[in-house]
Structure 1
Amino acid sequence: MTENFGVLNWSILGGYIIANLLLGLVIGKNIKNSDDFYLGQKQTPWWAIGISVIATYVSAMTFLGAPAWAYSEGLSVIALHLNYPLVIMAVIIFFFPFFYNAGVASIYDYQERRFGKRARAMVSSIFMLSQIMSSAAILYATSLVLSFITGVPVVWSIVIVTAIALIYTMMGGITAVIWTDVIQSVILFVGAGIIMYALLESGDTTLSSSMSELKAQGKLNPLNWDFDFTEETTVWSGIIAMTLYHITVYGTNQMMVQRTLAAKNIGDAKKSYLLMGFCAFFIYFFFIVLGVLFYDFYQGKTFENSNTIILQFATDYGLPGLMGIIAAAVMAASMSSLDSSFNSLSTVATIDFYIKYFKKDASDAHYLKASRIFTLFFAVLIIFPAIGYHLFSEGSILEILSKVGSYFVGAQMGMFFLGFFSKQTTENGLIIGTLSGFIVVTLVALNTDIAWPWYCIIGASANIVVSMIASRLIDGVQTEYNAYTIKGQQQHFAREGLDEKEQGWYRVPGRVDPINYILFGFFLLTLVFLFSIQFMF
């Protein structure tokens, strides 16, 4: 489609790319040491961090994948995204105090304090492997855009997008990641808004008529209450299984948490996540409705690759400059995730492995250089599995990414759950339990029809049970709570007479800030809203 893209579209796309690189260059001038690279200078406003969190997780997976998934499955896909208020509540109540009070750049430092060095190395390795695979899926998604609109081969598109995200991430570190994410989120949602307007404006029937027809075809039932563990998009998989899945994504994933450690204080860190808690439902509902409307517009037409539906519509609509905006929007969605991935992988590799095991006493300048070299290394590494997705993937990339992640999140969830709540679990038992969890999930995936959202809870449950039994058998009975359990932290604060709050926000784990009750009320309202849809039209 090179001959159809045109000067206007190229100008929009090129201007976006140049703006990102210039911003990275400007911010990079303020990066003086490795802490600046990992955490900025702890001066980033909470709302920018919050927008960065949203932009990172929404990504090209949602821009392309959510409409593609909803095109096939209908409004029921929203069930898997009902849980964000519950997720954010759990993370800011239990996880954030441990990470923020420790003053560290790598959240996996917690595992060492709670269990030991081997536990830290294990969870860091799990993160790195899972992050490489998920980032590769994001790269693949974006390559579809460039290939579709320009005719550039997918493999070359993967290389181009990687290079752009790599350059400004290497220059500006986490601060560049956050501020480019803010810009990218604006472009992403402007592009999505234009597509929604064009879709509604170009239909041959009224919106009410379209919705009535879609309802008759079974596309507008958002709540599937069946107790069927082989179905992916039930209310139970969304509220139970995917709540645990997303708690792991938001609470134990360095890529998501690291930017909150750049906040000025724990209150700002919590507010940045609360923004996602209140906004996520609307964002995912928007993109899922978009997919359902595409189904009506194209009368259920079968696409060779469903992930290109939104791009096909932009081409068919023919508005000058629209393809340039959409291309920039999808690249923005992708790079907001890729830059975060590169930076977090570099942080974990440097802090959890390089400094700890290979170069303990080097200068700060050396560690900053090492961080940038690791950023380059992981950017190159991610290219290879991205090509694999291109060769073997045809379904919704959002669904594919979720399936890949489900193999890893159970292990991480089990490790942190045991760290927070278990008195009896020791490092020896934890390692055996984590490996057992992987084995159980693999056997379930290969030998049953159980849907992937349940893999997290299955893997975590196996991990927890085996870890506790093995800990008791190997190390005997533990008589006291470890200082880095939630109970241990609460006892520590009470014993030392420490203030449980900082500027009105709890900094001891397990305490509930009042706004969480409002967030829970919001969750109940979303359920009522979705239930009422069944009686509309």
Structure 2
Amino acid sequence: MSTLDWIVLFLTLFSIVIYGTYKTRGSKNLDSYLRGNNSMNWWTIGLSIMATQASAITFLSTPGQAYEDGMRFIQFYFGLPLAMIIISVSFVPIYYKLKVYTAYEYLEQRFDLKTRTLTALLFIVQRGLAAGITIYAPAIILSTLLGWNLTWTNIFIGVLVIVYTVSGGTSAVSITQKQQMAVMMGGMILAGIIVIQLLPISFQEALHVAGKMDRLNVVSFEFDFADRYNIWSGMTAAVFLFLSYFGSDQSQVGRYLSGQTLTQSRMGLIMNGFLKIPMQFIILFIGVMVFVFYQFIQPPVIFNQVQTDKLRQSEYAPQFEALENNYNASFESGKNAYQQMLTAIEAGEDEDAESIKGQIKEIKLEQEELREQAKELILQNDPAAETRDTDYVFMRFVMDYLPKGIVGLLFAVIFSAAMSSSASELNALGSTSTIDLYKRSIKKDASDEHYVRSSKVFTAFWGLGAILFATYASLFENLIQAINLLGSLFYGTILGVFMVGFFMKWVKGRAVFIAALLSQGLILVVHFRNGTGMLGFHWDIGFLWYNAIGCLAVMLFGLILQQIVGGKVAKG
């Protein structure tokens, strides 16, 4: 990057951290530190909720996913407005009525201490692991693109987050997320405008190319349990995920519990429900335009330049050079075919256009085969290398083609997204550890100042743990996908406990506690046997459905177990 880009990057990041730390200094009591004295208005809440969900993976992976698979990922969010309405009507009023610091306090009042503790622990396990992955996943890509040491990249992201999150608590997280969202969306919209301006064809022609190559596939009505992204999973399984995430995950619940009033919190949630889809549409559409750009401007065979540079310096360099020459020739054939297809479309010759489209798809298959051969060479040269390169597509384009200054801004977007998600996670882990475990079961009668200090210690502890996990995360596989999978493994059970609490008043604590354990065991069996099955049964289920299965299992098991084990009359 240029000197200007480095200045833009560091000035943006340090300005956000310093502003958040300065504005929220002096949080002395527990209510101020964990709920921000209920001072947040609805649009601050809405932006904070959106920033919490919009991790760096959103801005790194989503354009690459659109490049490879089109717009169909947008269907994942179709159920979000419905989930926000349900939470606003059912969940939020109860939290406000009970004046809770965390969502899990409600569960003791409704059931018992062991149910509250179990649910809090499930959250801590899931979110504690996710916090490390939230740092590691972008760090591995950013360190590659910037030429930084991976460990120091993890530490850089983690320490920045710890500084303002420990200093100002919930208020610091929410206030900094306003600036982070402005940087993220401003940077992405600017990038989208520049992408369209750089296209070597007209915007209308770009839409023709994207449509013919199935990259504008916004809605799919084909039902398939193994398919994560269609209208059916988006309006059913994803609704359960969103209910779990926004209704019972403290990293999100903490955002709207800081609202000035119940109405302000509800409005913030509804804002998120109706702005998140356009936001994701913009990011996906940018990825589609990058795809069109690379149909007319020569792309690299592999977008991870570090791996290709290593290959060029290895014994496999001649083989890779031959592959590149074949790929370049195939690209020129494809480019000419696209021009012919656009000419046919302009002339209204639909049959010719469809015929040429078939030829282009054959060329694309040939190019993909050459890419696979290049990946095999990379693995032969370095068996531990990561060959999945779609996450590098967008930032490789940014570094190669965007003007100086804008490149630094786009890197600031990625760092800001990593920081915003991590800050909410650490803040939630600190508050849950303090309120649901330490204050409730270990040291019950200390002063407010003591619990503020303990919350800061827990937040810093989880932050350092996340950095440590991220440092050694290369020992694990498929981390980019794991960040989405982790939530689905635990969210269904957590949501099920809350749904029983809200809507099945006759089910008591003992029954729901056992039901939660059975449900969590069921989800783990379903996941680890997915694609193979057991006891004569075979299944292949997309992980989004784990949320629905886990939730419904808790409700069903709770209903049955209540008849068997009974229990004390539920409170409240």
TM band (smaller chain): 0.7 to 0.9
Q: Which of 71, 77, 84 is residue 75 of structure 1 equivalent to?
A: 71
In structure 1, what is the equivalent of residue 559 of structure 2?
468
Structure 2: how far apart are the matches of 1:236 and 1:388? 38
In structure 2, what is the equivalent of residue 238 of structure 1?
234
Larger Rg: 2
Segment drifting more, 32-41 vs 216-225: 216-225
Structure 2: how far apart are the matches of 1:145 and 1:439? 34
Q: Which of 500, 509, 533 is residue 418 of structure 1 equivalent to?
A: 500
**Cα drift, residue 118 of structure 1:** 0.5
The alpha-carbon distance between structure 1 residues 335 and 441, as it changes in their structure 2 partners (threshold 3 A), is: same
Segment drifting more, 458-467 vs 439-448: 439-448
Counterparts of residues 302-451 of structure 1 (less than 5 Å): 303=303, 304=387, 305-387=389-471, 389-393=473-477, 397=480, 399-445=481-527, 446=529, 447=533, 448-451=539-542
What is the CA deviation profile of residues 53-103 of structure 1, one whole-angstrom value per residue up to 9, with x for unaligned ones? 111111212111211222222111111111111010010010001111111
Structure 2: how far apart are the matches of 1:243 and 1:435? 23
Give the secondary-structure state (helix, strand or coil) at the position aligned to 1:436: helix
Listed as ranges, the gaps of 5+ residues in structure 2 are 304-386, 534-538
**Cα drift, residue 426 of structure 1:** 1.6
Give the secondary-structure state (helix, strand or coil) at the position aligned to 2:404: coil
What is the CA deviation profile of residues 403-444 of structure 1, one whole-angstrom value per residue up to 9, with x for unaligned ones? 221101110111111111113312111122111112222222
In structure 2, what is the equivalent of residue 167 of structure 1?
163
**Cα drift, residue 134 of structure 1:** 2.2
Which amino acid is 1:314 matched to? V
**Cα drift, residue 166 of structure 1:** 0.3
Q: Is the 8 A contact 2:17 2:176 kept in 1?
A: no
Structure 1: how far apart are the matches of 2:172 and 2:423? 9
Q: Which of 457, 464, 467 is residue 548 of structure 2 equivalent to?
A: 457
Structure 2: how far apart are the matches of 1:270 and 1:80? 22
Which amino acid is 2:258 matched to? A
Counterparts of residues 176-255 of structure 1 (less than 5 Å): 176-255=172-251
Which amino acid is 1:230 matched to? A
Which amino acid is 2:518 matched to? S
**Cα drift, residue 238 of structure 1:** 0.5
Q: Which of 83, 96, 104 is residue 92 of structure 2 equivalent to?
A: 96
Q: Is the 8 A contact 2:120 2:436 kept in 1?
A: yes
**Cα drift, residue 234 of structure 1:** 1.4
**Cα drift, residue 394 of structure 1:** 5.4
Which amino acid is 1:426 matched to? K
In structure 2, what is the equivalent of residue 504 of structure 1?
none
In structure 1, what is the equivalent of residue 55 of structure 2?
59
Structure 1: how far apart are the matches of 2:426 and 2:250? 11
Structure 1: how far apart are the matches of 2:469 and 2:163? 20
What is the CA deviation profile of residues 307-334 of structure 1, one whole-angstrom value per residue up to 9, with x for unaligned ones? 1222101111141112210111111111
Structure 1: how far apart are the matches of 2:287 and 2:472? 26
Structure 2: how far apart are the matches of 1:391 and 1:214? 38
Q: Is the 8 A contact 1:149 1:323 kept in 2?
A: no
**Cα drift, residue 393 of structure 1:** 4.7
Give the secondary-structure state (helix, strand or coil) at the position aligned to 2:257: helix
Q: Which of 284, 287, 291 is residue 287 of structure 2 equivalent to?
A: 291
Q: Is the 8 A contact 1:144 1:308 kept in 2?
A: no
Structure 1: how far apart are the matches of 2:25 and 2:139? 31
Which amino acid is 2:515 matched to? G
Counterparts of residues 33-44 of structure 1 (less than 5 Å): 33-44=29-40
**Cα drift, residue 123 of structure 1:** 0.8
Identity within the alignment, %: 28
Structure 1: how far apart are the matches of 2:414 and 2:241? 25
Give the secondary-structure state (helix, strand or coil) at the position aligned to 1:452: coil
What is the CA deviation profile of residues 141-195 of structure 1, one whole-angstrom value per residue up to 9, with x for unaligned ones? 3314531343112222111100001001111111111110000100111110121
Listed as ranges, the gaps of 5+ residues in structure 1 are 485-537
What is the CA deviation profile of residues 35-68 of structure 1, one whole-angstrom value per residue up to 9, with x for unaligned ones? 2110112222221121111111112121112112
